[in-house]
């Protein structure tokens, strides 16, 4: 396969219009790379890393098992050469990496990166926001499931401090890490009753709250369809209080369906992977902390990049593996999902904290 690097050694950067896009078996381009920096987290959200499973004896990846920043940069560089223009740093909790600003600076310098974002629980964001912005991070998405102290505490597995998370959001805003999106996983009977309060809090701010259906990622969160609040239902409840109007997608493949408050007090989004799957436009590749490339959030297997990286593969070889993997991609799990099969956890899927959402 011929590789199309962004940088011609003699001519310099190749204009975007001249790059050849790599498309998968369903004609979907690769536009985004999500980088899960580490599998550890300072929270134990029951829908992601339930404390009963991720206890103190749980063996997370040892440092040598994780990709180094240079290795991550090599993969990201190869990905941008194949048409990726959006990078997202995630985890686990990416802010647990003390050298995160260095990685951000390296990623920000890659040619063709139009969007460099991070998803975080924001517990450690306040002191880091400005440094990250200065290093080149464009924006953050903060996961915050409720503003009710007790519900928030429960949904962070007893680890979260709401005040610190809110301070993190404020610091991100001050540092210009915007637009800031607030991700809310909605679980029936757990935090659905607190959604209006959370929306009220962020109405009139530039932050965009996105209400996410509880997904059957991985096999350890005890997912049941009855815990999912379909976006349609939530939308009706919200509209009864604050009239909304649907607005178009910002770009093809955007996962959130967008709505604006009719009174002009901002925007919200719905991510409905369970009841209204969006595999058809999925342009995301996911890199786990141990260097496995996954082509679907619900994948069972991925492609190992760590071994070739450590055996001396150069950029072109890594791009070749990436390109080949993408060309063979035909995943559309959400569209084919059968909820009875998903509830029974019949087949193994990669856990969310390993590939970062």
Footprint on this chain of ligand SAM (rule: CB under 6 A): 41, 47-48, 90-91, 93, 119-121, 143, 183, 185, 212, 214-215, 217, 221, 352-353, 356-357
Beta carbons within 8 Å of 333's beta carbon, 6+ residues apart: 279, 296, 297, 298, 299
Which residue's entry shows tokens 């929306």?
199
Binding site partner of 221, from ligand SF4, ligand SAM, none, Cβ cut-off 5-8 A by kind? ligand SAM
215, interface contact from ligand SF4, ligand SAM, none, CB < 5-8 Å by kind: ligand SAM
Which CB atom, from 235 or from 319, has the smaller least distance to ligand SAM? Answer: 235
Which CB sits closer to ligand SAM, 229 or 309? 229
Nearest distance from C-beta of residue 193 to ligand SAM, angstroms: 18
Nearest CB to ligand SAM, comparing residues 22 and 121: 121
Nearest to 34, CA basis, from 292, 285, 279, 304: 285
Pairing mode, strands 115-120 and 86-90 = parallel
CA distance 296 to 329: 9
CB of 289: closest distance to ligand SF4 in angstroms? Answer: 11
175 binds, among ligand SAM, ligand SF4, none (CB under 5 to 8 A by kind): none
Give CA–CA dist 342/219, Å, rounded.
9
Contact of residue 49 among ligand SAM, ligand SF4, none (CB under 5-8 Å per partner type): ligand SF4
- Residue 279's binding partner among ligand SAM, ligand SF4, none (Cβ under 5 to 8 angstroms by kind) is none
Binding site for ligand SF4 (CB under 6 A): 41, 43-45, 48-49, 91-93, 121, 143, 353
217 binds, among ligand SF4, ligand SAM, none (CB under 5 to 8 A by kind): ligand SAM
Phi and psi at residue 291, to the nearest 5°: 85, 25
Residue closer to ligand SAM by CB (options 121, 283) is 121
**Among ligand SF4, ligand SAM, none, what does residue 182 contact (CB within 5–8 Å per kind)?**
none
Q: Which does 186 bind (CB under 5 to 8 A by kind): ligand SAM, ligand SF4, none?
A: none
Q: Which is nearer to ligand SAM, 82 or 279 (CB)?
A: 279
Closest contact distance (angstroms) between CB of 54 and ligand SF4 is: 8
| In the complex, minimum distance from the CB of residue 139 to ligand SAM, in angstroms, rounded to a whole number | 13
Task: Judge contact between 130 and 171, C-beta under 8 A.
Answer: yes
Nearest distance, CB of residue 91 and ligand SF4, angstroms? 6
Return d(Cα 120, Cα 142) in angstroms, integer.
5
Nearest approach, Cβ of 318 to ligand SF4 (angstroms)?
Answer: 26
Least separation in angstroms between residue 280's CB and ligand SAM is: 20
Residue nearest to ligand SAM (CB): 357
Smallest gap from Cβ 129 to ligand SF4, in A, equals 17
């Amino acid at each position: 396969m011929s590789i199309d690097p962004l940088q011609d050694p003699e001519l310099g950067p190749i204009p975007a219009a001249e790059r050849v896009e790599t498309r998968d078996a369903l004609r979907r381009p690769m536009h985004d790379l999500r980088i899960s920096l580490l599998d550890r987290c300072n929270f134990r959200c029951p829908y992601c890393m339930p404390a009963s499973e991720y206890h103190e004896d749980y063996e997370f990846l040892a440092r040598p098992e994780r990709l180094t920043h240079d290795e991550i940069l090599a993969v990201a560089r190869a990905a941008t050469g194949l048409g990726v223009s959006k990078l997202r740093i995630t985890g686990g909790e990416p802010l647990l990496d003390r050298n995160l600003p260095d990685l951000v600076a390296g990623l920000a310098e890659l040619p063709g990166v139009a969007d460099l974002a991070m998803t975080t629980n924001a517990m450690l964001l306040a002191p880091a926001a400005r440094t990250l912005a200065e290093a080149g991070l464009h924006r953050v998405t903060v996961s915050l499931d409720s503003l009710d102290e007790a519900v928030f505490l429960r949904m962070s597995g007893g680890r979260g401090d709401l005040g610190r998370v809110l301070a993190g959001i404020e610091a991100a805003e001050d540092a210009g890490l915007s637009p800031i999106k607030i991700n809310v996983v909605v679980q029936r009977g757990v935090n659905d009753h607190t959604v209006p309060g959370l929306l009220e809090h962020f109405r009139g701010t530039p932050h965009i709250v996105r209400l996410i259906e509880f997904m059957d990622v991985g096999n350890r969160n005890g997912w049941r369809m009855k815990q999912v609040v379909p976006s349609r239902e939530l939308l009706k409840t919200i509209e009864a209080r604050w009239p909304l109007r649907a607005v178009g997608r910002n770009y093809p493949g955007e996962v959130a369906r967008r709505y604006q408050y009719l009174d002009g007090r901002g925007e919200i989004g719905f991510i409905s992977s369970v009841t209204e799957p969006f595999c058809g436009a999925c342009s995301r590749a996911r890199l786990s902390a141990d260097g496995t490339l996954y082509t679907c959030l619900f994948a069972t297997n991925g492609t190992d990049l760590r071994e070739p990286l450590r055996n001396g593969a150069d950029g072109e070889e890594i791009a070749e593996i990436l390109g080949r993997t993408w060309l063979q991609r035909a995943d559309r799990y959400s569209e084919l999902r059968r909820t009875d099969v998903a509830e029974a956890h019949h087949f193994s899927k990669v856990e969310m904290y390993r590939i970062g959402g």
